[in-house]
Structure 1
């Protein structure tokens, strides 16, 4: 998951929390939906990115274990670590989204 997607997601969550607390929506000179993709697009892109990194790690690991001379141990290990970090980042973001959703749902109107 790239940093700009996380920043955009956090900005949307902050704006939603501000509106839920009775604050004003953040002002912007342009249409916010034109500037940033919607939540479902970000979520799908993030899940696809996690799946792609997992697939690449699996492929490189399989190539290395089968004795392919094109893939070194360091390539396979780096791909596996990158996939692990991507997955852990996705899990942490999911946890933050669930926490924010729970906080918003528990707010008194």
Structure 2
């Protein structure tokens, strides 16, 4: 029981320190206005370029996944051919990274298709 009360008192002390430090700063849950309108210029900013569009961002993400898969395939082939620079650990990490990137891309695609279907099924 004393361990729990000790942990609770440490948490409270930490919260009080963080509260004292953050009084002069903006609230932690404040929304950054640039997130609401990414293309807008902030006050005092001159000549800021426009934020990339959705299609450009999506294409970059797909190209990144493709690059990760190509890199993992090349490392796997080099390992199979006996290249001393391609050790098993690096090959496995590259393969796992490409697999995670592919799964994330498939999940994004599934959610986009679901959102499209939801919009199409809305009554007019």
TM category, shorter: 0.5 to 0.7
The answer for unaligned runs of 5 or more in structure 2 is 1-34, 42-48
Report the structure number with the largest CA radius of gyration: 2
Taking structure 1 as the reference length, what is the TM-score of the superposition?
0.68
Count, aligned residues: 83
After TM superposition, the structure 1 = structure 2 runs for residues 1-109 of structure 1, keeping only pairs within 5 Å, are 28=37, 31=40, 34=50, 36-109=51-124
Would you tell me which structure has more helix in proportion to its own residues?
A: 1
Gaps of 5+ in 1: 1-25
Query: Which residue is equivalent to 2:46?
Result: none
Answer 1 or 2: higher relative contact order, Cα 8 Å, separation at least 6: 1
- Where 1:108 maps in the other structure, the secondary structure is coil
* Separation of aligned partners in 2, 1:71 and 1:107: 53
- What RMSD over aligned residues (CA atoms) do the two structures have, in Å? 2.3
TM score, norm. by length of structure 2: 0.60
**Partners of 2:75 and 2:38 in 1: CA distance:** 46
